[in-house]
Amino acid sequence: MKIAILPGDGIGTEIVAQAERVLGCLDLEFETETAAVGGAAYEAHGHPLPEATLKLAKEADAVLFGAVGDWKYDKLERALRPEQAILGLRKNLGLFANFRPAICYEQLTHASSLKPELVAGLDILIIRELTGDIYFGQPRGRREAPDGAFKGAPEAFDTMRYSRPEIERIAHVAFRAARKRNRKVTSVDKANVLETFQFWKDVVTEVHAQYPDVELEHMYVDNAAMQLVKAPKKFDVLVTGNMFGDILSDEAAMLTGSIGMLPSASLNESGRGLYEPSHGSAPDIAGKDLANPLATILSVAMMLRFSLNQPEAADRIESAVRSVLAAGYRTADIWSDGCTKVGTRAMGDAVVAALSGTTAKTITKS
């Protein structure tokens, strides 16, 4: 089993280092190879997704990705910006299905900005289509407005589009996932305003005919954003397009206490995937030993389960994370009174200790 490790920028290198330590104490044999991506790759090779990095990602059984981006690259032309690396990997590896489970661990109900009773026991799954929609749609660009009240004025435009096969395959993924859970899918759209999402709604409804055992509801994205903070536990699986999923999954992160707790898996048709925390490179806290590595460590568990066929190892990691939280260890983003505040590395120490069956006394407090 070969794992491509792409730490990236900012906190990416710090959190991936802890995830690698966790991988290293599982008594499983992996070949790992690390490559530069994002701003780090631009600095070293002049491109955020060098050929060699893409080749490694294509050859590997799974990719463990940190995060890319930094404000200092904002003035670069778009094709050279770090964020193009993750878009390029998604497109080139055909990673169309993004799984973002939002689970509120019992010990973190007070870390959420919502009332504890709203999030206690929360376990929902957001499935975001990842290779279509307005993020990839062509044409896009800047031009002189060809018509309208401001005809002739400079304007910018993007294209929102989805084809039938793209919607069908993500709908199948959602219905199949719901069958392993509570058999309910909420398809999120904006069918009242957008032609693309009326089509989305029609196709999802057609696919649903093959899954009579799964309940389907349709919800407009503005209402879904509201319901996620009003009554999040009434959802089971949410399926939506690339842009709405991007926004709703960050909102869902706060239900779990912190975006530092939210892992993700991005899979292609053959089940190979890229695993990454749902957050970005957090330049504001990079290099300060403040980042929560748990989303990345939990992404490793998803990688073992979905791509490497090691479900027991995945279970071990998830229960190690639970026991570390139960022991009271918290990074700053999830800290509350009475808990032990630890840094990135010390949180990694705690998970490694839990996996090795030792107690947390090996932890270096920071």
Instruction: Point out the residues that are catalytic.
Output: 135, 190, 222, 246, 250
Element (H, E) at 325: helix 311-326
- What the block records as the tokens of 188 is 């999120």
Rounded Cα gap, residues 344 and 350, in angstroms: 10
x-marked contacts with ligand NAD along 70-99 as a string, rule CB under 6 A: x------------x--x-------------
Candidates 128-136, 279-287, 309-317, 320-328; binding stretch for ligand NAD (CB under 6 A): 279-287
Among 50, 88, 241, 260, interactor with ligand NAD by CB under 6 A: 260
Q: Does 285 bind ligand NAD (CB under 6 A)?
A: yes
Q: Does 67 bind ligand NAD (CB under 6 A)?
A: yes
- What the block records as the tokens of 328 is 């009271």
Cα-to-chain-centroid distance, residue 15 = 14
In the complex, least distance from residue 301 CB atom to ligand NAD, rounded to whole angstroms: 16
Q: Does 63 bind ligand NAD (CB under 6 A)?
A: no
| Residues recorded for the chain | 366
Rounded Cα gap, residues 82 and 79, in angstroms: 9
Among 31, 202, 284, 315, interactor with ligand NAD by CB under 6 A: 284
Q: Does 280 bind ligand NAD (CB under 6 A)?
A: yes
User: Are 184 and 125 spatial neighbours (Cβ–Cβ below 8 Å)?
Assistant: no
Nearer to ligand NAD, 76 or 327 (CB): 76
Nearer to ligand NAD, 74 or 117 (CB): 74
Q: Does 43 bind ligand NAD (CB under 6 A)?
A: no
Among 60, 124, 291, 353, interactor with ligand NAD by CB under 6 A: 291
Q: Does 189 bind ligand NAD (CB under 6 A)?
A: no
Among 7, 69, 101, 132, interactor with ligand NAD by CB under 6 A: 69
Q: Does 292 bind ligand NAD (CB under 6 A)?
A: yes
Enumerate residues 6+ apart whose C-beta is below 8 A from 62.
Answer: 1, 3, 4, 272, 273, 274, 275, 303, 307, 308
Binding residues for ligand NAD, how many (CB under 6 A)?
Answer: 22
Candidates 46-54, 223-231, 281-289, 350-358; binding stretch for ligand NAD (CB under 6 A): 281-289
Enumerate residues 6+ apart whose C-beta is below 8 A from 355.
Answer: 22, 25, 26, 316, 317, 320
H/E/C letters for each residue in 180-238?
CCCCEEEEEECCCCCHHHHHHHHHHHHHHCCCCCCEEEEEEHHHHHHHHHHCHHHCCEE
- What the block records as the tokens of 228 is 């996620």
Rounded Cα gap, residues 354 and 323, in angstroms: 7
User: In a 3-state reduction of DSSP, which class is residue 31?
Assistant: strand
Nearer to ligand NAD, 155 or 251 (CB): 251
Strand partners, 143: 155
User: Are 3 and 63 spatial neighbours (Cβ–Cβ below 8 Å)?
Assistant: yes
Nearer to ligand NAD, 123 or 250 (CB): 250
Q: Does 256 bind ligand NAD (CB under 6 A)?
A: no
Q: Does 37 bind ligand NAD (CB under 6 A)?
A: no
Residues 133-162 contacting ligand NAD, CB under 6 A: none
User: In a 3-state reduction of DSSP, which class is residue 50?
Assistant: coil
In the complex, least distance from residue 246 CB atom to ligand NAD, rounded to whole angstroms: 8
User: Are 256 and 106 spatial neighbours (Cβ–Cβ below 8 Å)?
Assistant: no
Q: Which residues bind ligand NAD (CB under 6 A)?
A: 11, 67-70, 83, 86, 258-260, 276, 279-285, 291-292, 295, 333
